[in-house]
Amino acid sequence: MKTVSITLLAGLAAVQAAPSPAVQTFTPSPGNFPAKGDGDYAGGIFSIPLSQLGQYAGSGTGTPTENPGSGQKTSGSGPYPAQMITDSSLPGHTIIAPKTPPGGNLSMPFIAWGNGACTLSTAPYQNFLVEIASHGYVIAADGLPSGGGASQSKVQDMRDSLEWAFAGKAAKYGNIDLTKVATAGHSCGGQEAMSVAYHDERVKRIMMFNIAIFQDDRRYLLQEIKVPVAYFIGGKSDMGYQGSSRDYPLLPSGLPKLLANLDTGHGGTYSATNGGKFGKAAVNYLEWQFRDNATAKAVILDPNSANSLVKDKWTVQSANWS
């Protein structure tokens, strides 16, 4: 958690130092739905203007009770030992995938990932992303394993990950199923994931980690979200808490949705061994959604099931799942 917090603060400092865009091209107003989610800021139309950052960064209250700490680097707990590497066919990004293509020609979903503060360093998420990949997923993340600096990812950076996969360039990592594609991210990276998924029918699931929309005047944009949304939030002290509580009821009627809270604050458990409880929650959600795994579904939705999220101290709300 310490690593994540430091990275976030560094990212936030970089944001504050960066120049504001000269012209605002998107003005939120009910009924104004831009064609694409790029907007004017890192993180896109679901993110915040630089001038409002300070106002929202401290919006959580209280002190989290879960303290995951930093864990060991592993190859993940899943059946396909995974790693984080770079690939010259997708510059400025990191690939997290099984070390060798899984046997049996296992079909693998594809995930595009964005980092907290939209930084260009995937390092804080290594344990978490390797854990997911070890269950048979290929992930392309914005930024480099040892990246950083003042620049931030843009919506187009995450979209580049999709273009890369849809051009067939992820095939070297195994059999990619392009009907099973998610965008996901932490904090600003989560807002970016929603902005990329907006009006892009290739994206089938959106996963928001410790974040939602900050500004009330942008929540109407949720009407254009057409695929299930899962929020994994860090409880009342998380700056994503208020926004996710407000966004969840505003998602289009009938849309399957999940809002899970664990009292970690904004930092989640990404740096714990195998991504800790957030890693476990993400894997089970994905296995349920993309592999129809009933046991994994019960872990998420049934408090009484063995290893349920509720037994891990998550509070879980959900609606509209069949």
Ligand X SMILES: *[C@@H]1O[C@H](CO)[C@@H](O)[C@H](O)[C@H]1NC(C)=O
Which residue, 122 or 284, has its beta carbon nearer to ligand X? 284
Residue 101 CB contacts under 8 Å (≥ 6 apart), including other chains = 173, 174, 175
- CB of 286: closest distance to ligand X in angstroms? 10
Rounded CA-CA distance 35/128 in Å is 33
Residue 248 CB contacts under 8 Å (≥ 6 apart), including other chains = 212, 231, 257, 259, 317
Which residue, 180 or 219, has its beta carbon nearer to ligand X? 180
Which residue, 93 or 135, has its beta carbon nearer to ligand X? 135
Which residue, 46 or 288, has its beta carbon nearer to ligand X? 288
State the first-to-last Cα distance of the chain, in angstroms, to the nearest integer: 35
Rounded CA-CA distance 79/98 in Å is 9
- CB of 293: closest distance to ligand X in angstroms? 4
Rounded CA-CA distance 210/230 in Å is 11
Where residue 158 falls (left for φ over 0; alpha for ψ -120 to 50; beta otherwise) is alpha
- CB of 272: closest distance to ligand X in angstroms? 18
User: Could you tell me the sign of the dihedral formed by the alpha carbons of 20, 25, 37, 252, in that order?
Assistant: positive
- CB of 299: closest distance to ligand X in angstroms? 6
Taking Cα atoms as reference points, which of 160, 156, 154, 159 lies closest to residue 42? Answer: 154
- CB of 253: closest distance to ligand X in angstroms? 30
SS3 state at 130: helix
Which residue, 107 or 315, has its beta carbon nearer to ligand X? 107
**SS in 3 state form for 256-288?**
CEEEEECCCCCCCCCCCHHHHHHHHHHHHHHHH
- CB of 129: closest distance to ligand X in angstroms? 18
List contacts with ligand X (CB under 6 A): 105, 107, 175, 284, 287, 293, 295-296, 299
Which residue, 74 or 223, has its beta carbon nearer to ligand X? 74
Q: Give the amino acid at 98.
A: P
- CB of 289: closest distance to ligand X in angstroms? 12
Which residue, 102 or 116, has its beta carbon nearer to ligand X? 102
